[in-house]
Amino acid sequence: MDGIQKTLEDLADEFDLLGDWEERYRYVIELGGDLAPLSEAERSEANKVRGCASQVWLVTEPKGDGRVEFRGDSDAHIVRGLIAILLRLFSGRRPADILAFDVRGAFARLGLSGALSTQRSNGLAAMAERIARDAAALNAANG
C-alpha cells in the first residue's frame, strides 16, 4: 500500500477505535491542537481558503525534491482538526500523487461525509479543492 492510501487506512483505524461521533469529534479537535500556528504574515488573503464558514488559511510550500508541504490554521477548533487530517494525508507528497488520490472516497472512508454539517462538509471540500489546485499548478510547473 502506498503513502496516501496507507495514511488513510491508519486514520481510519484510529477512527474505528473510537466509539461514537462525539468521541471522534473530540479526537479531530485533538488532532487540530497539534497544528503549528501560522505567522500573522501567513494569515494573508492569498492564503485564505474561500468557501469555508470559518477563517481558514493554507500555506503551500514546494520542496526541492518535488514534494509539497502544506501548513494550515483556522479560528475554529473542529476545522483545525479537519485541516490536520488533510495535512496528514497530503503534506510531504508529490503533486501527482495528490491529484491521483480520491479525496471524496477518503472522506467517506473516515465517515466524515455523513457526520459533518453541510457547512463543514462544504468547507472541507473547499480545503481539499485548494490543495488539489495548488498540487495541479505545481505538477504543471514541474512538467
Of 73, 79, 80, the closest CA to residue 123 belongs to: 79
- Beta carbons of 76 and 54 less than 8 angstroms apart: yes
Of 77, 4, 69, the closest CA to residue 12 belongs to: 4
Provide the grid cell at 62.
514546494
Provide the grid cell at 21.
461521533
Provide the grid cell at 105.
472516497
Q: Is 43 considered catalytic here?
A: no
Q: Which member of 4, 49, 52, 84 is catalytic?
A: 52
d(CA 91, CA 106): 15
Alpha helices, DSSP H, located in the chain: 3-17, 21-33, 77-90, 95-100, 103-110, 112-115, 118-142
* Residues annotated as part of the active site: 52
